A and B are shown apart, each in its own frame.
Chain A
Amino acid sequence: MLKSPKGTPMRSALAGAALLACLAVAKVQAEPSKSFGLGRPATVEEIEAWNIDVRPDGQGLPKGKGNAAKGEAIFAAKCAICHGDFGEGVDRWPVLAGGGDTLKSEDPVKTVGSYWPYLSTAYDYIYRAMPYGNAQTLKPDEVYSIIAYILLMNDVIEDDQFELSNENFTAVRLPNEKNFIDDLRPDTPTLKQAEPCMKGCKTDVKVTRRAQVLDVTPKNEDETAGRGAID
C-alpha cells in the first residue's frame, strides 16, 4: 500500500546537493517501508483549518479581493504602529517599502519592492504571522487589500482602485525576482585547491580592526546600538 519514495529529479537549485540526494535515495530504497498503523485520517475540515500556505504558482490562495484604498485604512489601523504609515518601519521593525537600488550599497534596504522575489510570500506571511500578536485573524479581503497597498507604496501598481484578487494575483511580478540565484558554495579554497599552510605563512601580522573601538557589547543593562541585524 505504501510506496517507496522515488528518486526525484533534482531542480537546478539543488544541483550542489545531487550527490547527497542519490545517497539518500539509495539508503531509503534499501529499507522497505512498512506501515505502523498509527495516526488517523485528517478530516476535510481539519485540513482546511490548518492549510494556510500560499505558493508562487497561486496554490493556496483563498477567494477574495481588495484594493489599495481599502488597504491603506486597514494598514493604518493594524500595521502602521510597527511598519509606519508608509511602510518606512518604526524603530527596528521591518521596512516594507522603498529601498530600490540599495542592494549593492553598504546599507541594503530589503523590502517587498526592492528584494522579495514573489508576491505570494506576502500573502502567506501576512495571514500566518500578522498582525504581530494577533495572527491568523485577517479575512482574505483584508489581506488582498493590505497587499495592494504594499504594492502601491512600492510603485509596483499605481492605481489605488486596482482590485487585487485570487484571479489576478499570480500575474503581479516583483522587480527583484530575477536576482535570486542558486547556492554556489563552497566558494572558498578547499583541500582540493590547496593544503592549508602550517609554517611561515605570513611575514607581517598587524591588528586591523578591534571590537573595543565600537564598544557595542552588552554590559549590565546597556542598550547601545551596533551595526547589523540577525534576522
Chain B
Amino acid sequence: MSRKKKKSIETDVTASRREFLRSSIAAGGAIFAGSAAAYADSDPAITDLQEWSRYLGKGVDRAPYGVPSEHEKHVVRRYVGWLTASVESSVNFTPLHELDGIITPNGLCFERHHGGVAEVEPEKYRLMINGLVEKPLVFTLDDLKRFPRKNQINFLECAANSGMEWRGAQLNGCQFTHGMVHNVMYTGVPLRYLLEEAGLKTNAKWIMPEGGDASGMNRSVPLFKALDDCLIAFKMNGEALRPEQGYPARLVVPGWEGNMWVKWIRRIEVGDEPWHAREETSKYTDLMANGKARRFTWEMDCKSVITNPSPEAPLKHDKGATVITGLAWSGRGTIPRVDVTLDGGRNWHAARVDGPSLDKSLHRFYYEFDWNGAPLLLQSRAVDSTGYVQPTKDELRTARGENSIYHNNAIQTWHVKNGGEVENVEVS
C-alpha cells in the first residue's frame, strides 16, 4: 500500500467526525442517512481499494489469548492519583462510556485492593470453614468444583462509587463518577452448600469471610444473606477469575456493597456476633450531618447513569437522530422503569430497557430522539422493583448531609453544550 493512501486513512480516523463531516460535505461525501442532498463526490473509503481488502491478514494464533482491536487501545481502566496514598490500596475505574449491553469484559472490571493483588498459587489454595460449625473443614479448589454449581449475573458496586460527588460536581467523566461498578456472570458454588457441609450450630448468626491477601480483608455477613444467594465463585464470564478479581476464588454477595465480596477468600468463620472489622467501622460506615454514623449499610440502592453522551463521550454529530444510553441497577431487585430528561428535570420521558432484566444486575436503557442541536441537561432516574425511586442529590444531602462518602446513588446531570461537549454539573 502506498504511503499516501495510508496517511489518508489515518487522517479520516483521527479527525473528529464533525470535521470529517464538514470536509466530506464540501467534497461531496456524507455519512448521514436522511441528508441525501449533497452527495456529488464519492467516498474514498469505498472507491479506494483498502489494504485489508487486498492483502492477506494475519493468521490464526497471532494472539492465542485474543486482545481488542488496536483502534480500541484507549478503552482501559483509569486511575485517579490524588484519591489514595498508594496503588496497592487504591482503585481504578471501569470505562462505562465505552461499553454497551450489560456485561463488563473481564479486563475492564474496576479494581479495588487494600493490600495489592494476591498472586495465589491454585494448588496451594485452601478454603477453611471454622467457628460455630459441627466440623471445621478445609476445601481445595478441586473440592469446590465437585459441588453443584450455579451461574448468576450480578453487578458489583463499590459503596464509594460516586463518593467524590457529595459536595458538588467534581470529576468530569462518567468513568470517574460512576466507574466503580461492573457486571459479570459468575460461576460458583452456593455458599449454603459449604456451610451445611460443615454443619451450622444452632447459635450461628453471622459469618466472617476473610481474604488471603496482604490486607486479610474481613467483613461480617449476616447468616440469612450467606444462606440466600451468596456464591463462592471461581469463574467470571466463563473463564477463571482474573487475579485482580480474586483468583482463584471470591465471595459473591449479590446486591450488597463490593467491599463484602472478599477476594482470594481463604476462610469463613461462623459466629454468633458481628466482628466490627475495620472495613465495617472505620470505613464503610456512613457519617451523617449530626455526627451519628450508620453501620451495616449493606444494600446498594437503586441507581442509574447516562453513559453516552457524557464528558468523555461527547455528541460528535449534528442535529438529528440521537441515541442516549445508560445503565441502571438496584441491590434490591430488577429495574422496571427508567425515565430520561433532556431539560434538567422539567419534563421526563420513558426510556427503553433492552436486554436481560435480571435480579441485582445492570440493566441497559436507551432513549432515542431527534436532537435540535441546542444545549441539553440530561438526567436519568431509575425505579426498582420494590418501588424505590432514585433520589436527587439534594434529597440525599437533605437526608444525610455531605460527609457520608458512601452510598451516593443520586441522579447525575450532564450538560450537553453547543457543539456537543459535555460537562458534569448540578442543576437547581
Can you list, as one digit per residue, whether each of B197-231 has a CB less than 8 Å from chain A (1) or not (0)? 11111101100101000111010001111011000
List the A side residues contacting B208 at CB < 8 Å.
53
From the candidates B164, B346, B396, name the one contacting A200 in the complex (CB within 8 A): B346
Can you list, as one digit per residue, whether each of B263-275 has a CB less than 8 Å from chain A (1) or not (0)? 0001101010111
Pick from A44-52, A139-147, A155-163 the stretch touching chain B: A44-52
Can you list, as one digit per residue, whether each of A74-103 has a CB less than 8 Å from chain B (1) or not (0)? 000000001000000001110000000001
Is the Cβ of B295 less than 8 Å from the Cβ of A181?
yes
From the candidates A42, A201, A203, name the one contacting B136 in the complex (CB within 8 A): A42
- B83 CB–A CB distance under 8 Å: yes
Can you list, as one digit per residue, whether each of A187-222 has a CB less than 8 Å from chain B (1) or not (0)? 111111010111111111111111110111110000
- A70 CB–B CB distance under 8 Å: no
List the B side residues contacting A17 at CB < 8 Å.
222, 224-225, 298-299
Q: Contacts A28-B192, A36-B146, A41-B137 given: A104-B291 contact, CB under 8 Å?
A: yes
Q: How far in angstroms is the closest Cβ of chain A from B118? A: 11
* Nearest B residue (CB) for A115: B282
List the A side residues contacting B345 at CB < 8 Å.
201-202, 205
Q: How far in angstroms is the closest Cβ of chain B from A32? A: 10
Is the Cβ of A180 less than 8 Å from the Cβ of B164?
no
Is the Cβ of A186 less than 8 Å from the Cβ of B301?
yes
List the B side residues contacting A118 at CB < 8 Å.
276, 281
Pick from A61-69, A129-137, A164-172 the stretch touching chain B: A129-137
* Nearest A residue (CB) for B171: A217
List the A side residues contacting B277 at CB < 8 Å.
53, 121, 124-125
Q: Interface of chain A, helix or strand or loop or mixed?
A: loop
* Nearest A residue (CB) for B285: A180
Q: Which of A17, A41, A117, A217 has the most CB of B within 10 A?
A: A217
- B419 CB–A CB distance under 8 Å: no
Q: How far in angstroms is the closest Cβ of chain A from B359? A: 13
Is the Cβ of A189 less than 8 Å from the Cβ of B222?
no
Q: Contacts A33-B196, A225-B82 given: A8-B205 contact, CB under 8 Å?
A: yes
Is the Cβ of B294 less than 8 Å from the Cβ of A209?
no
Is the Cβ of A38 less than 8 Å from the Cβ of B147?
yes
Is the Cβ of A129 less than 8 Å from the Cβ of B114?
yes
From the candidates A136, A203, A218, A228, name the one contacting B164 in the complex (CB within 8 A): A228
Q: How far in angstroms is the closest Cβ of chain A from B321? A: 23
- B9 CB–A CB distance under 8 Å: no
Can you list, as one digit per residue, whether each of B389-420 has a CB less than 8 Å from chain A (1) or not (0)? 10100011001101101010000000100000
* A131 and B176 alpha carbons, distance in the complex (Å): 30
- A30 CB–B CB distance under 8 Å: no
From the candidates A13, A39, A103, name the one contacting B296 in the complex (CB within 8 A): A13
- B169 CB–A CB distance under 8 Å: yes
Pick from B50-58, B84-92, B363-371 the stretch touching chain A: B84-92
Q: How far in angstroms is the closest Cβ of chain B from A62? A: 15
Please, could you name 23 A-B residue pairs with CB atoms under 8 Å apart, sorted by A?
Answer: A5-B227, A13-B295, A25-B224, A35-B196, A38-B146, A39-B137, A42-B128, A51-B267, A108-B287, A117-B295, A129-B216, A180-B293, A181-B294, A188-B396, A189-B395, A191-B389, A198-B339, A207-B415, A211-B169, A211-B424, A214-B169, A227-B170, A230-B160
**A residues apposed to B, CB below 8 Å:** 1-3, 5-6, 8, 11, 13-14, 17, 20-21, 23-25, 27-28, 33-36, 38-42, 46-47, 50-57, 59, 82, 91-93, 103-104, 106, 108, 110, 112, 115-118, 120-121, 124-125, 128-129, 132-133, 135-136, 179-192, 194, 196-212, 214-218, 223-231
